[in-house]
Amino acid sequence: MATQGTVRVLLQIVASVCLLTLFTLATYPARHADAVSQETSALQNAAVPVSLSQPSSAYGSDVHVAIHTDAVSTTPQGDSNISRLVETRLHAIMDPWDRSYPRLVCPPSNLDRYAYLKRSTEQLPRPAYFFALDLHQCVDLLPRLIGSVVEAMRFLGPHNCVLSIVEGRSRDGTFELLDALRPSMRRLGISYHLASSSIDPTAEGTDRIASLAELRNLAVRDLVLRPEHYDPNTTVIFSNDVALCTEDLLELIHQRTLQGADQTCAMDWTYVGDNPTFYDVWIARGMTGDSFFEIPASGSWDRAWDLFWNDQKAKARWASWKPFQVFACWNGVTAITAKPFMEGAIAFRARKEGECFQGEPSLFAKDLWLCGHGKIAVVPSVNVGYSDDATVRIKALKGYTSSHVARESDGTPIDWATLPPEKVKCMPNYEQQSFVPWDEGLAS
């Protein structure tokens, strides 16, 4: 027979288990509400392709309560796992050789190729590289994404770089990890702007594109408000929540410089089956004005394999890994001239009255052309995905950037067209597709 002491111990254990169960049930909805909201939103918006130019996660809620530079954590209090999570991932971010955290493994880059991008303080007294990101609920991706950004900034010179991140509503430790970066950035001498936003593109009654545009504008806010603090030839490197290597970032900057481009973009991919599919098809438009692959009114992506089916010039250069001109792109990560931002000539926006319903990067491209910055190109040697696993797969198939540029012989110059296509495909949804004047709605 059990003694009274033993019975008391058993009762205490049972009581503790019951309390733990009640706590878990009580906090579960709060911890998972964002994930459910995102899945519901994806289903509701299924008729319109959700572009990966719109960061693959949702952000925060009122467009008028936009930014909090002294933000506090929204992670449930008392979660000791967050502290451990931050510690391990922070170390991985700051150490490119850290293998304690599973992530995309990047090869050594051909840094000689990019050495000219570095400048001394005397040559470049003001920053010339502005890294901008909008991030939400992606803590597991940060060791690779931010790790590659930090490595790129170290190479380019910390005094040459600014890192600007807008985070919103994350409950997985994303904000805590980004906030924990501050001391490391300070020690490196990198100017680091971290803000938290409550803008929620998925909120009921919200203009999704206007909200996404506002988030992007917040990320480049310092550049716009204080242009005198930046080099006149500054490049904005804007990345979505993708897994990439340092060489991917450097190659986009290099090609923008080498080609004299106003914007250079990667190629982003998703896996809806065994084979990869180019994902930013709702945003990207070629110099024919058409989408990168044909989507019939049924919404079928069966022809996704046939990229640039009606643009042989682009198809040939894409197949040989050479940069080619397009009307519009974003494709997960992009390098853009900062001049129109600094001059106050351009900002991310929603459509105007009379314009086709389209994503803010498409509208941004229209405005670039209107401002005389129509040298927009895709760099097919840079291929990225929206998770470590996806990028591992796509690089295994397409190759790392360094494997392509090693075979480059002539610099692959682009023969730039000075005029945009007369008409560009408007695709508010699959059923409604038409070609409209490229400058529709922009008449003064």
pLDDT at position 39 is 30
- Parse the chain into domains and list their residue ranges: 48-437
- Name the architecture of domain 48-437: Alpha-Beta Complex (3.90)
pLDDT at position 5 is 52
Residue with tokens 């198939």: 397
Total-model pTM: 0.83
53-57, 119-123, 135-139, 240-244: least confident range: 53-57
**Segment 343-357, tens digit of pLDDT:** 999 999 999 999 999
Average pLDDT over residues 12-19: 42
Q: In the predicted model, is pLDDT for residue 425 greater than 60?
A: yes
Q: In the predicted model, is pLDDT for residue 43 greater than 90?
A: no
pLDDT at position 444 is 55
Predicted confidence band of residue 32 (pLDDT cuts 50, 70, 90): very low
Q: In the predicted model, is pLDDT for residue 83 greater than 90?
A: no
